[in-house]
Amino acid sequence: MSDTRAFAGCIAAAQVMRAVMLDPRYTALPKMGEKKQFWNAWKAKRAKEEREEARQQLVAAREALLELLTSSEEVVPGSRFRDIERRFRDDPIFQAVPDRDRADVFEDALARRTQLLKEAQLAREARLQEQLVTLFGQLPAFDFATTWEEAEAAVRQLPNFGEGEVAGAERLAVLQAWEVCSRAAMDTQLERMSGLRDEQRHADRLARDAFVALLEEMERGGQLHAQCTWRELYPTVSNDRRYTDLLGAEGSTALDLFKLRVETLADALHSQKKTVAAALASSSLAFDHTTTVEVFLGALAEAGGAVEDVAPLNLKFIFEALHERAEEREADRVRHERRAAEKRAEAFRRMLYKARKTLVTQRSLSVALLYHPMSDPNTDLLCPPPLINTNHPWLQTGKRLHVGGIPGGFCRQ
């Protein structure tokens, strides 16, 4: 039974028994139950094989119909199934596919046909655009600044413009080709400008490095220091080529580099001021306005240590700053002492002014307790006489006496 295809999987067991009972192999299984069991197993296997054969036949028929419809020129985007069915209903390939599968095959064929037509159209447009781009490339004066009107007029005057597919090219296709060529020319111009810009930046960077080297040379020579100004340095650097090469360069200017360098030097000077202050604090020197440079340097030499790394020019600036501060302190001290003396004198005058009424003895003479120099001309001390003598020559002159701003006495001529 396994070697023949005469029996279908749906045939009844009795029919099979009558057909094979005369075969010598029928007696190989003596019992009827074994024969039925074998038959049922073979029947299930045969049914499965028939289903697989039918599925493969259906797949093959669908593929054949799909290929037929795909290769047909009548199947185009927008075609309807009833029109295609009316056209291919007598074709054996179309009839081999069941009715329920024909519409699905048509949809697949329509999608594939549409994709093929689209790819063919894109390929034609690509070939046409390539030919048009080649024509635009033959124009001698074509660049990124060429307008569409100028390019179209020039390309249509070429002798090979009317050959091949280019002859029937639409204006839109020519415009697209011009856009591609113009964009490529613009990219080329941008790359060239980018290269020039990179070269200019490299040159500007070299100019800045050269000017920084010039500042370092001037720093070593003592012309550039922490308290230097651009007005002082400009007459020196203005004649140097390393300064003129930096003019007009992008990025940091010469003034910016100068300020940055001076700021760095100022920070270093501030740090060195702290170092010198610590060294002076550890020494026996009491810095005041009378301290000289030699004494200052001697005290630092005794301290040693980190002070040895301080530049001589910075030592000069530090000494001048300390000396200026000491002079300010001395001036403040003198000013305070002068103000204190003035306050004491003013207090003494106020004391005399408040005590004038208690010193008046006679209204007609308007004389008070009179402070006058003693008969000794060598003294400036003021002291009252032990007694008031109205017959004193001083009181006979009749002139008013003002002592310490106090009216009411007489003075002699």
Q: In the listed set 120, 148, 172, which residue is the last one of a domain according to the structure?
A: 120
Continuous H helices in 32-98: 32-71, 81-88, 92-95
Does residue 73 lie within any of the structural domains?
yes
Of the candidates 384, 377, 378, 375, the one whose C-alpha atom is nearest the C-alpha of residue 403 is 384
* Residue 66, domain member (yes or no): yes
Contact 256, 296 (CB under 8 A): no
Cα–Cα distances in Å, from 155 out to 138, 192, 206, 222, 392?
8, 26, 47, 70, 136
- Note the pLDDT of residue 413: 36
Beta strand spans in 182-290 (E): none
Rounded CA-CA distance 16/212 in Å is 110
pLDDT band with cut points at 50, 70 and 90 for residue 225: confident
**pLDDT for residue 357:** 60
Q: What is the pLDDT of residues 26-59, one digit of tens each?
A: 666 667 677 777 777 878 888 888 888 888 888 8
**Greatest CA separation for the chain:** 196
Q: How many CA atoms lie within 13 A of 316 on its CB side?
A: 7
Q: Does some domain include residue 49?
A: yes
Q: Residue 30: inside a domain, yes or no?
A: yes
Average pLDDT over residues 289-298: 79
Give the C-alpha separation, 156 to 162, whole Å.
8
Residue 201 maps to a domain: no
**C-alpha to C-alpha distances, 146 to 142, 152, 230, 372, nearest whole angstrom:** 6, 10, 50, 113
In this predicted model, which residue has the larger pLDDT, 9 or 176?
176
Q: How confident is the model at residue 196 (pLDDT cuts 50, 70, 90)?
A: very high
Which of residues 120, 138, 165 is at a domain's end? 120
Minimal CA–CA distance to 67: which of 24, 97, 33? Answer: 97
**Is residue 258 predicted with pLDDT exceeding 80?**
yes
Residue at 350 is within a domain: no
**374 lies in some domain:** yes
Confidence of residue 7 (pLDDT cuts 50, 70, 90): low
Asked whether residue 381 is domain-assigned, the answer is yes
pLDDT at 304 over 80: no
Using alpha carbons only, give the angle 77, 70, 120 rounded to the nearest 5 degrees.
65
Point out the domain boundary residue: 89, 120, 151.
120
The distance of Cα 410 from the centroid of its chain, to the nearest Å, equals 91
- Total residues found in the chain within this entry: 413
The pLDDT value given to residue 285: 76
pLDDT of 191 over the 60 cut: yes
**Segments forming the whole domain that contains residue 391:** 360-411
Confidence of residue 13 (pLDDT cuts 50, 70, 90): low
The predicted-structure confidence for 64-99, as pLDDT tens digits, reads as follows 888 888 888 888 888 888 888 888 878 888 888 888
Are 381 and 354 in contact by the 8 Å Cβ rule? The answer is: no
Domain count of the chain?
Answer: 2
State the pLDDT at residue 21.
63
Question: Where is pLDDT greater, at 375 or 67?
Answer: 67
